[in-house]
A and B are shown apart, each in its own frame.
Chain A
Amino acid sequence: MASVRLLLTRRCCTALKTTTGHGQRSLSVSSAVLALLCLSLSAARTHVSYEVKDNVAVVRINDPTSKVNTLSRHMQAEMVEVMNEIWGNAAVKSAVLISRKPGCFIAGADINMIQACKTAEEVTSLSQEGQKIFDQVEKSPIPIVAAINGSCLGGGLEFAIACQYRIATKSKKTILGTPEVMLGLLPGAGGTQRLPKMVGLPAAFDMMLTGKNIRPDKAKKMGLVHQLVDPLGPGLKSPEERTIEYLEEVAVDFAKGLAGRKVTVEKKKGLVQKIQDFVMGLPPVRKQIYKTVHSKVMKQSKGLYPAPLKIIECIQTGIEKGNAAGYLTESQNFGKLAMTSESRALIGLYHGQVTCKKNHFGKPERDVKKLAVLGAGLMGAGIAQVTIDKGVATILKDTTEEGLARGHQQVYKGLNDKTKKKSLTTFERDGIMSLLSGQLDYRDFENADMVIEAVFEDLSIKHKVVKEVEAVIPPHCIFATNTSALPIKDIAAASKRPEKVIGMHYFSPVDKMQLLEIITTNKTSKDTTASAVAVGLKQGKVIIVVGDGPGFYTTRCLAPMLAEAVRALQEGVGPKKLDSLTTGFGFPVGAATLADEVGIDVAAHVAEDLGKAFGTRFGGGNVEVLKMMVQKGFKGRKSGKGCYVYGAKSKEKKVNSGAEDILKSFKLTAPPAVSADEDIQYRLVSRFVNEAVLCLQEGILPDPVQGDIGAVFGLGFPPCLGGPFRFVDSHGADKLVQKMKRFEEAYGNQFTPCQLLLDHAKDSSKRFHK
């Protein structure tokens, strides 16, 4: 039941869902060599090909080295060459641009190409090259139709909107968007200039500042695409193959229509559109929009993310000062952003996320076809939901009918909400629900391939459950425990087959939080780990695999920070002030709110357990504060009261005066030397970071990448800092150690830097990330 419950804002949860980039080798050759290379390439182009059908040039793109198409240097060079041939061919009256990959049009620019640049100027010139190509496309003497099936993101979308006409399939895989902001960048190939003209200022801001994916039907409504084509089912070829062919046929027809002026590009504008255009034409209105958007961005990002502000600047410059100035600002800002630590941090997280979406333990001996979840509480029901959602039959077992009914309803609601958002049909929902078997007994457990227990966090209960379950499951069945702090080996002590026991620590709400922390003991077999990772990946999780110990990795990092937060509260920093200090540092959720979300009782439980395990290093705030709050019923959001009072309809959260009284009775005097705002921030963060580094030092964490991913995706560590390890690299271990030494003087060993951190402080060439 317990587990760290975190509510992160959308920004953090989905900050890095982009699919841009791949390991494409970039060609670093001088332009002269490139020209030669292009000449020799013309005989054997590998990425772009074309044929002329009935005066229509059909340009097909396909990067043979990757699952997705990216605008790598190689792709761009071939594209330029092909376009020039087409423009030079008088017989060609129109063109169609289409990808041969079923799930991808163009997923964006090649991230590695950008990362390989050493200076802002280099990146700016990359941007200008892109701008130039798309400018030619926009001014093409013949109409070009972009035929989009699959992801059309970033540079891919910028390419498409430079074309004269766009047709997209209604496939579930077709998404359009500008996710650059999630990588701390901006659409650097004309996107900031063309999008506002195409979809209007408000929609363009929305797209570029959130980076959200836009589905085809919405894209049509917005005016981002002109026509939609339905995906086809089985025919004389596979549906995927035939759908692309059909898209091409339709696009060719439209291309001919455009060339023959039977199809017009301009859409008739509705009255609403006309009014909107008129209003947007008024400079004071636009000025107000810039101001509003700017203040909204500042409020949400606390000014910690430079990309959104630069995006606003680019759009504003383009509209107010004209194209030339707009494009120049875009390319320059793109160059500047690529050099920021924020962008590096976000790109690092992107790469880390890709790594953590792979199974590094090989293919398990058998697939999990039937999963059983014990305990239908928040966690248990959440795990069941994400499992059936991926087509795996799941048993949800509880001990009481009320508990089971609540869990069942939670799963149903989770899926039903998707039907409201139209991402599922009601029939799909019903089909998915049919995979769930809610029950009070151990019926059918003999067919389970894996059991995940999510019962109350109490060792004796867990032992009882292990024994009960092992009496009914088949020998191959894996026993996973969803505990947030109890060491797995202690739970496994009750097992007859500890090699089949593993920890799977989910984060609440399970269907929203991307992270899964898998914990292995020294007895856990490799196949058991492989199977747990496979299940997690199937559930759509980003996975870190860590060693066993009290609090594993995530809970262990969070506990000292919360202890410090309690101390700050005792020292008289109010919950609201504490929240603004933490969010001001980049945490999506403030520390006091976080404690309420996790549950004060859970926090007390964890603080006490880990306090016993790790001693005074985990001290700071008095655990009695938390215990007293629990005693008074202030268990956090779930009980309606914690640091704050919940339930009132007004958005403004009120501080719980009862909690304030408790804090007053435990009042500590704040040492003035370490109590400035910045000091409080660093006290919180340095304890988090030091514990993370210690986890690496002790081998709980296998590598810094997983440490960063776990902290950001599981605990909401500021994404703009890229995780604790990247933070040490970019902030400087020596500076951090200096701060900690100062805190250590005031508070003692809670701030003693660990050896690995000291090593890094001593030798600045030592870095966690290369």
Chain B
Amino acid sequence: MQIIEHFMSLSLIRTVLLTAFSFCSAARSLSTSVHLQAQAKSKKTLAKPGVKNIVLVDGVRTPFLQSGTTYADLMPHDLARAALQGLLNRTGLPKDAVDYIVYGTVIQEVKTSNVAREAALGAGFSDKTPAHTVTMACISSNQAMTTAVGLIAAGQCDAVVAGGVEFMSDVPIRHSRKMRKTMLSLNKAKTLGARLSLLGSIRLAHLSPELPAVAEFSTAETMGHSADRLAAAFGVSRLEQDEFALRSHTLAKKAQDGGMLSDVISFKVPGRDIVSKDNGIRPATMEQLAKLKPAFIKPHGTVTAANSSFLTDGASAVLIMSEEKALAMGYKPKAYLRDFVYVSQDPKDQLLLGPTYATPKVLEKSGLTLNDIDVFEFHEAFAGQIMANLKAMESDWFAQTYMGRKTKVGAPPMEKFNTWGGSLSLGHPFAATGCRLVTTVAHRLQKEGGQYGLVAACAAGGQGHAMVIEAYPQ
């Protein structure tokens, strides 16, 4: 029952606050078995002549916590700082060796709009290291990483730290536009009379606050609502969604217990305990999941609090270098970051289909097929969204009608798909998820002995991203 209450409270928060940002990913048969592919493959490398090899040296993240829990009293740059310090500790990187820092965030704390710089200063990086912040909804840290890749590929930097932070325990709630206008005019009012008349113009209605975007700005539709429609469009049942959500929690629990989530660092929260585990992983039973009411489309919808990703606080960071530099500094890189794509489509009816569009595109770019991929890490915004993407990828009709392709790309086999849990269970701090996905692929490739991994995600605005990652020879 506790779990149910937990979900109920989440659903409340979600409806009141925001559900606007997320990503996408995929799954089909819900088998939970994990195959360790022991046999080493000897496929060709994706290195291209004339293009620098760029490597992921390492990646870390703070534990992902449900918003309003242990991190509640922090500020976003505190979390980001924890991730950056964690990366420094993990890699032993000399602080002045970093040429540049790029960080992602979605909901901006107005005081720290360039959160990258504020966090870097506090984390003890050299004040000579420039830092900037990027935003691209739920693929913000993917954007941070690919920005880093671009800087290195262009020969402008050799070592870049990328990451992302999201802090949902506190969000900017503003005065109404009318109130703001009055307050700003008040600054300019010169006489007492002018000020009084401005004050007198304030009405009760002006005092009602403006909550941050609960919806896609262009369509005014909340993301959960769109996900529910998407699931319906692809005929995804409530049962399928609950099963997938349960799979995610079950696998995450197993990974957590088995010590697989080695990217998580311990974080001593000021004034609180040391946190070292994600706290949103809660495997329930199908019966418990079935009891929940739809959270967005009532009463006949299928997306519930339990089969959606929850509001999360967290930060992540990765160290990206040119292979030469990494080797020169004595690092053993974890993976090559290879081709990547960004896609975008209709933000109303195809808001969360990014992975479907991005996957075939990035595979073609790399000269790979779906069968070549050993490890899939897709962002799980909603179970319904994942299932819809899998169905779309499995459909020739969809590929021909909407993607201008001759055939479907095919859906990833479930035994290779998000086998250590995903955003549904681990949590989804919007701008921190991308780095988690990439680091997880690198770790899984190492663990399972695969050669290629694929990251894919959807984002608000109807955008999407995918990246191919190649294991670094062990």
Instruction: Please state if A234 and B219 are interface contacts (CB–CB under 8 Å).
Output: no
Chain A proximity of B20: nearest CB distance (Å): 15
Chain A proximity of B461: nearest CB distance (Å): 12
Which listed residue (A227, A232, A250, A253) contacts B349, Cβ 8 A? A232
Q: Which residue of B lies closest to A245 (CB)?
A: B235
Instruction: Please state if A234 and B300 are interface contacts (CB–CB under 8 Å).
Output: no
Instruction: Please state if B297 and A233 are interface contacts (CB–CB under 8 Å).
Output: no
Which listed residue (A227, A246, A425, A427) contacts B232, Cβ 8 A? A246
Binary A-proximity of B328-351 (CB < 8 A = 1, otherwise 0): 000000000000000000101110
Q: Which residues of A contact B402 (CB under 8 A)?
A: 234
Binary A-proximity of B387-429 (CB < 8 A = 1, otherwise 0): 0100110010110011000000000000000000000000000
Q: Which residue of B lies closest to A235 (CB)?
A: B233
Which listed residue (B228, B235, B299, B401) contacts A234, Cβ 8 A? B401
Q: Which residues of A contact B117 (CB under 8 A)?
A: none
CA distance A254 to B298 in the complex (A): 13
Q: Is B230 an interface residue (CB 8 A)?
A: yes
Q: Which residues of A contact B349 (CB under 8 A)?
A: 232-234, 239
Beta-carbon contacts under 8 Å, A700-757 to B: none
Q: Which residues of B contact A760 (CB under 8 A)?
A: none
Q: Is A230 an interface residue (CB 8 A)?
A: yes
Instruction: Please state if B219 and A227 are interface contacts (CB–CB under 8 Å).
Output: no
CA distance A588 to B220 in the complex (A): 40
Q: Is A294 an interface residue (CB 8 A)?
A: no
Among B220, B233, B397, residue most surrounded by chain A Cβ atoms (within 10 Å):
B233
Q: Is A111 an interface residue (CB 8 A)?
A: no
Instruction: Please state if B235 and A227 are interface contacts (CB–CB under 8 Å).
Output: no
Q: Which residues of A contact B235 (CB under 8 A)?
A: 235-236, 242
Q: Is A229 an interface residue (CB 8 A)?
A: yes
CA distance A254 to B225 in the complex (A): 20
CA distance A230 to B397 in the complex (A): 23
Binary B-proximity of A230-269 (CB < 8 A = 1, otherwise 0): 1011111111001000100010011000000000000000
Binary A-proximity of B293-305 (CB < 8 A = 1, otherwise 0): 0000101100000
CA distance A235 to B297 in the complex (A): 18
Q: Is B33 an interface residue (CB 8 A)?
A: no
Instruction: Please state if B300 and A239 are interface contacts (CB–CB under 8 Å).
Output: no
CA distance A235 to B233 in the complex (A): 5
Which listed residue (A232, A236, A246, A425) contacts B219, Cβ 8 A? A425
Are A233 and B220 also in contact (CB < 8 A) when A239-B233, A242-B233, A246-B232 are?
A: no
CA distance A98 to B319 in the complex (A): 58
Among A227, A232, A250, residue most surrounded by chain B Cβ atoms (within 10 Å):
A232
Q: Which residues of B contact A242 (CB under 8 A)?
A: 232-233, 235
Q: Which residues of B contact A233 (CB under 8 A)?
A: 229-230, 233, 346, 348-350
Instruction: Please state if A230 and B229 are interface contacts (CB–CB under 8 Å).
Output: yes
Beta-carbon contacts under 8 Å, B349-407 to A: 349-350, 388, 391-392, 395, 397-398, 401-402
Instruction: Please state if B218 and A427 are interface contacts (CB–CB under 8 Å).
Output: yes
Q: Which residues of B contact A227 (CB under 8 A)?
A: 299-300
Which listed residue (A229, A232, A235, A427) contacts B300, Cβ 8 A? A229
Which listed residue (B300, B350, B398) contacts A236, Cβ 8 A? B398
Are A232 and B229 also in contact (CB < 8 A) when A239-B349, A425-B220 are?
A: yes
Q: Which residues of A contact B299 (CB under 8 A)?
A: 227
Chain A proximity of B350: nearest CB distance (Å): 6
Q: Which residues of A contact B348 (CB under 8 A)?
A: 233
Q: Which residue of B lies closest to A229 (CB)?
A: B300
Binary B-proximity of A207-232 (CB < 8 A = 1, otherwise 0): 00000000000000000000101101
Q: Which residues of B contact A238 (CB under 8 A)?
A: 401
Instruction: Please state if B297 and A230 are interface contacts (CB–CB under 8 Å).
Output: yes
Interface residues of B, count at CB 8 A: 26
Q: Which residues of B contact A427 (CB under 8 A)?
A: 218-219
CA distance A232 to B228 in the complex (A): 10
Beta-carbon contacts under 8 Å, B438-463 to A: none
Chain B proximity of A167: nearest CB distance (Å): 9
Q: Which residue of B lies closest to A251 (CB)?
A: B300
Chain B proximity of A731: nearest CB distance (Å): 54
Binary B-proximity of A400-427 (CB < 8 A = 1, otherwise 0): 0000000000000000000000000101
CA distance A254 to B300 in the complex (A): 9
Chain B proximity of A22: nearest CB distance (Å): 31
Q: Which residues of A contact B395 (CB under 8 A)?
A: 236
CA distance A720 to B285 in the complex (A): 68
Instruction: Please state if A236 and B391 are interface contacts (CB–CB under 8 Å).
Output: yes
Instruction: Please state if B398 and A232 are interface contacts (CB–CB under 8 Å).
Output: no
Chain B proximity of A216: nearest CB distance (Å): 14
Are A235 and B234 also in contact (CB < 8 A) when A227-B300, A230-B297 are?
A: yes
CA distance A239 to B397 in the complex (A): 13
Q: Which residues of A contact B388 (CB under 8 A)?
A: 235
Q: Which residues of B contact A246 (CB under 8 A)?
A: 232-233
Q: Which residue of B lies closest to A253 (CB)?
A: B300
Q: Which residue of A lies closest to B395 (CB)?
A: A236
CA distance A227 to B294 in the complex (A): 15
Binary B-proximity of A163-182 (CB < 8 A = 1, otherwise 0): 00000000000000000000
CA distance A230 to B391 in the complex (A): 21
CA distance A96 to B297 in the complex (A): 21
CA distance A668 to B235 in the complex (A): 79
Instruction: Please state if A236 and B220 are interface contacts (CB–CB under 8 Å).
Output: no
Instruction: Please state if A234 and B398 are interface contacts (CB–CB under 8 Å).
Output: yes
Beta-carbon contacts under 8 Å, B214-244 to A: 218-220, 225, 228-230, 232-235
Instruction: Please state if A236 and B218 are interface contacts (CB–CB under 8 Å).
Output: no
Are A232 and B401 also in contact (CB < 8 A) when A239-B349, A253-B300 are?
A: no
Q: Which residue of B lies closest to A431 (CB)?
A: B218
CA distance A455 to B232 in the complex (A): 53
Q: Which residues of B contact A250 (CB under 8 A)?
A: 300
Chain B proximity of A355: nearest CB distance (Å): 36
Q: Which residues of A contact B398 (CB under 8 A)?
A: 234-236
CA distance A427 to B462 in the complex (A): 15
Which listed residue (A230, A234, A254) contacts B350, Cβ 8 A? A234
CA distance A229 to B302 in the complex (A): 13
Q: Which residue of B lies closest to A430 (CB)?
A: B218
Q: Which residues of A contact B228 (CB under 8 A)?
A: 230
CA distance A234 to B349 in the complex (A): 7
Chain A proximity of B291: nearest CB distance (Å): 15
Q: Which residues of B contact A230 (CB under 8 A)?
A: 225, 228-229, 232, 297
Q: Which residues of A contact B234 (CB under 8 A)?
A: 235-236
Chain A proximity of B228: nearest CB distance (Å): 8
Q: Which residues of B contact A237 (CB under 8 A)?
A: 397
Q: Which residues of B contact A253 (CB under 8 A)?
A: 300
Q: Which residue of B lies closest to A246 (CB)?
A: B232
Q: Which residue of A lies closest to B218 (CB)?
A: A427
Q: Which residues of B contact A425 (CB under 8 A)?
A: 218-220
Among A235, A238, A250, residue most surrounded by chain B Cβ atoms (within 10 Å):
A235
Which listed residue (B232, B346, B391) contacts A232, Cβ 8 A? B232
Q: Which residues of A contact B229 (CB under 8 A)?
A: 230, 232-233
Among B218, B300, B349, B388, residue most surrounded by chain A Cβ atoms (within 10 Å):
B300
CA distance A626 to B299 in the complex (A): 66
CA distance A427 to B388 in the complex (A): 26
Are A236 and B230 also in contact (CB < 8 A) when A230-B297, A425-B220, A427-B218 are?
A: no
Q: Which residues of B contact A229 (CB under 8 A)?
A: 300
Instruction: Please state if B220 and A232 are interface contacts (CB–CB under 8 Å).
Output: no
Listed by A's residue number, 29 A-B pairs whose Cβ atoms lie within 8 Å are A230-B225, A230-B228, A230-B229, A232-B232, A232-B233, A233-B229, A233-B230, A233-B346, A233-B348, A234-B350, A235-B235, A235-B388, A235-B391, A235-B398, A236-B235, A236-B392, A236-B397, A237-B397, A238-B401, A239-B233, A239-B349, A242-B233, A246-B232, A250-B300, A253-B300, A254-B300, A425-B219, A425-B220, A427-B219
Which 8 pairs, one residue from A and one from B, show the smallest C-beta to C-beta distance?
A233-B349, A235-B233, A232-B233, A235-B234, A427-B218, A250-B300, A246-B232, A230-B229
Given A233-B233, A235-B234, 10 new contacts (CB under 8 A): A230-B297, A235-B388, A235-B392, A236-B235, A239-B233, A239-B349, A242-B233, A250-B300, A425-B219, A427-B219
